[in-house]
Chains A and B, each alone.
Chain A
Amino acid sequence: MDPRHITLISFGYFDADFLRNVAEAVKKEFLVNVNVKEGHLDLSEFYDPTRRQYNGVKLVNEVENNYSSDHSKTIGLFNVDLFIPILTYIFGQAFLNGRTGIASSYRLSNERYGIQTDDRLILERLIKEVVHELGHTYGLIHCHIPTCVMRSSTYVEDIDQKGSKLCINCRNEYNRILK
């Protein structure tokens, strides 16, 4: 697989400028080529009516099997509420050392928490999530440095606590992997 290419595929509506900003931030962080594509999926197949959420395990496998390629790392972008069987929700997930991940903007917007809309904040949060999941596809695990983007975030305010960049240790590890 060529780790020097990243493809972001949007499933569902995302503003074009918003996606461009995400792609630019990802490109800046990983210093590789980033493509943005649109994907079309019937999400009702992934909806779990008992949980009123979308199954993240099935979705990441769908992206892996039908949208990923050996020519790049692929992240599927969604705007629906994701879960995995054991957890009540997830912001995203990825195959460690794999080629695919997914991230959702659903729980990243302030409106879900009754706070004033902040377009800049939702962009920052999604960038962090996408960079984080891509980090996993490159083999990076969670980092304990508070400002590192690879720090685990289990709720939305937690995402705001960290930065959008790899810390020096994760950066070194990424450079080592890429060589």
Chain B
Amino acid sequence: MAKKISILIVDDEESVRDSLFNWFIEDGYHVECAENAKKALSMLENEGFDIILADIKMPGMDGLEMLRRIKLLKSDSIVIVMTAFATVDTAVQALKDGAFDYVTKPFDPDDLSHLIRNASKQITLSEENENLKQKVVSLENVEDLIGKSGAIKLVLKDIESVAQSNSSVVITGESGTGKELVARAIHSNSPRRYFPLVSVHCGALTESLLESELFGHEKGAFTGAMYNRKGRFEMADNGTIFLDEIATISTKMQIDLLRVLESKKFVRVGGNKEISSDFRVICATNRDLKSMVENGTFREDLYYRLNVVNIYVPPLRERIEDIPLLVEYFIRKYCTSMNRQPVTIDSAALSRLEEFNFPGNVRELENMIERAIVIGNGKKITLKDLPLEKSIISNSVESLDELEKLHILQILNKYSWNISRTAKALKVDRVTLYNKISKYGLKAE
């Protein structure tokens, strides 16, 4: 676990010290305050602080003099100076003397948050550089991507491969497979993780709303626009923007999006100032973008711009061996959130879940378990708690051959390709099973 970052606030105004103290405490930082430079320097001699936030105008020794002395004590200290009376001269002097940044009181909450995240990032990155020399990196924050199947391991491997780069990613997969979780995992393991992951559900917005959402607007841009409004691209500065259901955007938006992706610059609605934003783009879709390009409904240039890396999230029916782990995870999750004692699931119910087709994928399984916990007896989930009356056969399967192939593959995966157990479950002999495997070209993942 990362160490807690410590902040020292130096300001002669009690209300400022208290406000900042409360703000940072809620962010989980270790915070201490000093009312003058002398006390701050004495505290710094006894205890190292990661970030020092100091007022420039203070009685006695001022912030600039204190900054110089701090730099003599510890040259790599991160000092942010603040003042109510900003002048270019003092700002330049503070930066020349080694200040990390310079801010004018009162701050915009977002600016303060951004500033501290930048400083924290610098501290953590230098620590991570040290740690990286000593250990192999492992993925973090992927605990929602549950499973041990080859299919999910491949997804995790893909996440690990792309996380450190800046490349655009398209995540494909059926609805409910967890594409947004994959996007979050990529962001959480990327150097951009200290900055926001901003999600936009393109399918939920009309073209004009999407434009305002993505680009923001200026105060006075239209009647009632009393404040400037940041768009999602601006919000994602230094972070990642996740465009869900990318295949639903209009032709005009495809052009606008391409322009922004190429230049990383845009103008707010009603504005004339060009705004730059450094973001990484991750998209998701349950449609086949390639065929949309071929039939002319999705721009080819945008497709290639977005689809630098493709990650395919398999449907649940292709990873049935993950169902027991997922069930266990959702039981734990919902029993905790509903403040209930953990329940179990009986083997007959679990077996039926493993046979179910799950057209709604992991989301459907999750809903099923949540429902079962709500309506169940509070001890054990049984068959009667599960709404499994739907056909286990996918609607898209029409031929008997296709049905047989899918069923054999399901059972093979269930028994980890153990031929004897699979043949026994299918009630066929081993030779017949081998013939079927060969006929359908089935392969273990």
A binds B: yes
Question: A: which residues have CB within 8 A of B?
Answer: 31, 57, 83-90, 93, 95-96, 111-115, 136, 141-142, 146, 152, 154-155, 157-158, 161, 165-166, 168, 171-172, 175
Shortest CB distance B437–A (Å): 41
Check if A96 sits within 8 Å of B26, measured CB to CB: yes
With A114-B221, A142-B26, A142-B28 given, is the CB distance from A88 to B19 under 8 Å?
no
**Within 8 Å CB of A157, what residues of B?**
229-230, 232, 235
Alpha-carbon distance between A155 and B110 when the two chains are bound, in angstroms:
7
Check if A113 sits within 8 Å of B199, measured CB to CB: no
In the complex, 13 of the A-B residue pairs with CB atoms within 8 angstroms, ordered by the A residue number, are A85-B16, A86-B19, A87-B112, A89-B109, A93-B22, A96-B22, A96-B26, A113-B225, A113-B226, A115-B224, A115-B229, A154-B112, A168-B333
Q: Confirm or deny: B76 has a beta carbon within 8 angstroms of a beta carbon on chain A.
A: no
How would you classify the secondary structure of chain A's contact residues: helix, strand, loop or mixed? mixed
Q: Confirm or deny: B227 has a beta carbon within 8 angstroms of a beta carbon on chain A.
A: yes
Question: B: which residues have CB within 8 A of A?
Answer: 13, 15-16, 18-20, 22-23, 25-28, 105-110, 112-113, 184, 196-199, 212, 217, 219, 221-227, 229-230, 232, 235, 333, 336-337, 339
Alpha-carbon distance between A172 and B112 when the two chains are bound, in angstroms:
29
Among A31, A93, A157, find the residue whose CB has the most chain B CB atoms closer than 10 A. Answer: A157
Check if B227 sits within 8 Å of A152, measured CB to CB: no
Check if A114 sits within 8 Å of B109, measured CB to CB: no
Alpha-carbon distance between A166 and B235 when the two chains are bound, in angstroms:
23
Check if A152 sits within 8 Å of B113, measured CB to CB: yes
Alpha-carbon distance between A28 and B54 when the two chains are bound, in angstroms:
43
**Within 8 Å CB of B23, what residues of A?**
86-87
Check if A86 sits within 8 Å of B25, measured CB to CB: no
Check if B19 sits within 8 Å of A96, measured CB to CB: no
Partner of B106, one of A86, A115, A142, A172: A86
Check if A146 sits within 8 Å of B113, measured CB to CB: no
Alpha-carbon distance between A141 and B112 when the two chains are bound, in angstroms:
17
Shortest CB distance A153–B (Å): 9
Check if B105 sits within 8 Å of A86, measured CB to CB: yes
Return the chain A residue nearest B112 by Cβ. Answer: A87
